[in-house]
């Protein structure tokens, strides 16, 4: 079997809570640290395979709990971001990284155009199509992406604990920041530790901005969501911010809270 054939046998995208009734559509692009078997783990060192370079540790646990309490569908990636980063368009230089922070990615060095195209077709296109379809069949959709980030990056400690990120449309982020600043002792910041200039708002730009849908990208520091209990606690907290922010934005559609 060729690489492309094996890749094709892996379900490239997962939809959790397909029957979810909420107008919120959750997205977790970096949910998985799985590697298709033929890619030989891209030649990565063992520490890299478990690191934030391969996935967003804890993010899927938070996203699953949000899906549950909001009764919202969740569209999630099923392979490592190092195979293909579904939060980047195919033309982005960092869609298939050859180095991530301090980790070399040997299996991504020297890929031919054909090999790059095969990754795009196998992983990015199905992800994009599935998410677009879900949004298209949702009344007054609200697009919310869920990520985590490492507490130490290139040797520098990050003090921000939750980042609320946006691109040109800051309506929902503004409303969440208003609520977060009143309700928590956590360090919550706008467009931190990343922002639009870093290319991280691709999903929002692709799937929310053209339709004028409310949208936000959530980044949680991964040392705060190591355990299932911490993920649940975090999801319950930011889920309430989200629901109240949607109400403050007068979002239409069904937004439930069932915790
Ligand atoms: Zn991420």
Q: Which residues surround ligand 1, an ion (CB under 5 A)?
A: 30, 56, 147
Of 9, 23, 247, the C-alpha closest to 136 is 23
How many other C-beta atoms can be found within 10 angstroms of the C-beta atom of residue 4?
A: 15
pLDDT at 1: 44
pLDDT 10s per residue in the chain (259 long)?
A: 455 554 545 789 999 999 999 999 999 999 999 999 999 999 999 999 999 999 999 999 999 999 999 999 999 999 999 999 999 999 999 999 999 888 899 999 999 999 999 999 999 999 999 999 999 999 999 999 999 999 999 889 999 999 999 999 999 999 999 999 776 789 999 999 999 999 999 999 999 999 999 999 999 999 999 999 999 999 999 999 999 999 998 765 555 555 4
171 within some domain: yes
258 belongs to a structural domain: no
Cα gap 101→162, rounded to integer Å? 20
Q: How far apart are CA 16 and CA 169, in angstroms?
A: 27
Gap from CA of 113 to ligand 1 centroid (Å) = 25
Looking at the domain assignment, is residue 253 inside a domain?
A: no
Report how far ligand 1's centroid is from the alpha carbon of 29 (Å).
Answer: 7
- CA proximity to 117, closest of 142, 96, 137: 96
State the distance between the two ends of the chain, measured CA to CA, in whole angstroms: 46
CATH number at residue 178: 3.40.630.40
Rounded to the nearest whole angstrom, what is the distance from the C-alpha of residue 86 to the centroid of ligand 1? 9
How many A from CA of 79 to the centre of ligand 1?
Answer: 13
- Overall domain count for the chain: 1
Q: How far does residue 30's CA lie from ligand 1's centre (Å)?
A: 5
Written as six digits, the tokens of 81 are 């971001």
> Where in the sequence is the domain holding 88, given as residue range(s)?
3-248
Ligand 1 mean position, distance from CA 150 (Å): 10
pLDDT value of residue 132: 98
- Structural domain includes residue 236: yes
Instruction: Judge whether 254 lies within some domain.
Output: no
């Amino acid at each position: 079997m060729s690489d492309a054939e094996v890749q094709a046998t892996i379900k490239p995208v997962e939809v959790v809570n397909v029957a979810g009734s909420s107008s919120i559509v959750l997205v977790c692009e970096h949910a998985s640290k799985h590697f298709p078997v033929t890619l030989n783990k891209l030649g990565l060192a063992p520490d890299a395979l478990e690191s934030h370079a391969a996935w967003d540790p804890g993010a899927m646990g938070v996203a699953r709990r949000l899906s549950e309490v909001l009764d919202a569908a969740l569209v999630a990636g099923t392979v490592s971001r190092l195979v293909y980063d579904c939060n980047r368009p195919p033309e982005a230089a960092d869609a298939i990284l050859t180095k991530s922070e301090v980790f070399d990615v040997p299996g991504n060095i020297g890929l031919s155009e054909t090999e790059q195209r095969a990754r795009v077709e196998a992983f990015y296109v199905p992800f994009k199509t599935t998410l677009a379809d879900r949004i298209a069949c949702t009344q007054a959709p609200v697009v919310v992406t869920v990520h985590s980030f490492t507490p130490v990056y290139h040797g520098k400690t990050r003090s921000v604990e939750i980042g609320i990120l946006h691109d040109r449309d800051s309506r929902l982020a503004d409303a969440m920041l208003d609520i977060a600043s009143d309700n928590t002792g956590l360090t919550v910041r706008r467009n931190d530790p990343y922002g639009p200039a870093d290319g991280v708002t691709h999903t929002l730009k692709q799937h929310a901005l053209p339709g004028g849908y409310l949208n936000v990208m959530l980044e949680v520091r991964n040392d705060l969501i190591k355990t299932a209990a911490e993920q649940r606690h975090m999801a319950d907290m930011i889920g309430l911010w989200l629901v109240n922010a949607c109400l403050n934005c007068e979002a239409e559609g069904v937004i439930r809270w069932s915790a």
